Amino acid sequence: MQSIPDLSTQALISRDLVAALRRDAPLVQCLTNFVSMNTAANVLLAMGASPAMVHAQEEAPEFARVCGAVVINIGTLSSPWLDSMLLTAASANEAGIPWVLDPVAHHATAFRRDAVQRLLDLRPAIIRGNASEIIALAGGQSASKGVDSRDAVSQAEQSAHAIAAHRGTVVAVTGETDYVTDGTRAVRIVGGSPLMPRVTATGCALTAAVGACAAVSRTDPFSAAVAALSCFAIAGRRAGAQAEGPGSFAWRFLDALAALDADDLGGESPLR
């Protein structure tokens, strides 16, 4: 059984986590894809974190030990990157550093399917994906097309719960209405803008934001995911209200993230 936490209390937790993020500026290591590196780094800076795109096998596992969190995204996967990801995740675990997995299009090829299973065995604290990715991760049939989701978040909620309960992790499913569960608690998050899927790397950057919040919430990854998704929901809604299209949305969204006050998370909570 899943329970809905007290939403007002959860919103205040999000407020406190964002305040801590702004104060502490945690170092977040991102082993992410080529497409998203610049966007993810700018999003982390806008939120108050310090990005580090360190992925080489020769240094990434060592670097993970001095970070607040590690983010692993398999978007532009290759054999050398996979080796580095596996070693870095193991190193993060040994050091007690939370790491976040973004299983981009993991169901598209045998190479990706094998890679994501090996990474799952290294116990990510949080998994962030779209509905199609989460359905496929639970062994279901999705309607995805490449990296794009063709399934509604509501269709992935049962899959998210099953993965969270089986893996002992937090699963965040993102889309028009986001869903976060740790197998016991669950919340939905509303907001954002229809323009968000039209700007490349927005989802990958969200995973980096989840990592930033996890860095200041090591004992409560559920609240970390909720806080990050809440920031995107509020900033996306504000940026979308002013944007003329995806181009102007992109810079307005960064500005909205940077201008977001921690108190907005308590007073303008998108939790449902």
Segment 172-214, tens digit of pLDDT = 999 999 999 999 999 999 999 999 999 999 999 999 999 999 9
- Quick one: DSSP state of residue 145? B
Q: Using CA atoms, how far apart are residues 68 and 72, in angstroms rounded to an integer?
A: 14
Q: Is 91 strand, coil or helix?
A: helix
Tokens 């992925």: give the residue. Answer: 55
Q: Residue 216 in contact with residue 264, Cβ under 8 Å?
A: no
Q: Tell me the three state secondary structure of residue 178.
A: strand
| Integer Cα distance of 145 and 236 in angstroms | 24
Give all strands of the β-sheet with 126-130 in edge-to-edge order: 50-52, 27-31, 69-73, 99-102, 126-130, 170-174, 177-181, 186-190
Average pLDDT, the chain: 95
* pLDDT of amino acid 144: 56
Check the annotation: does 53 bind a ligand.
Answer: yes
Q: Is 152 helix (H, G, I), strand (E, B) or coil?
A: coil
- Do the beta carbons of residue 179 and residue 172 sit within 8 Å? yes
Q: Name the CA dihedral angle for 93, 95, 98, 103, rounded to a multiple of 10 degrees.
A: -40
Residues 217, 233: Cα–Cα separation, whole Å = 20
Torsion (CA) 23, 173, 43, 18 in degrees, nearest 10: -10
Query: In angstroms, what is the C-alpha Rg of the chain?
Result: 17
| Residue 128 known to bind ligand | yes
**pTM for the whole thing?**
0.95
In the chain, which residues have pLDDT < 70?
1, 142-149
Is 174 labeled as ligand-binding? Answer: yes
Question: What pLDDT is attached to residue 124?
Answer: 98
Q: What are phi and psi of 80, to 5 degrees?
A: -60, -40
Q: What single DSSP character describes residue 183?
A: S
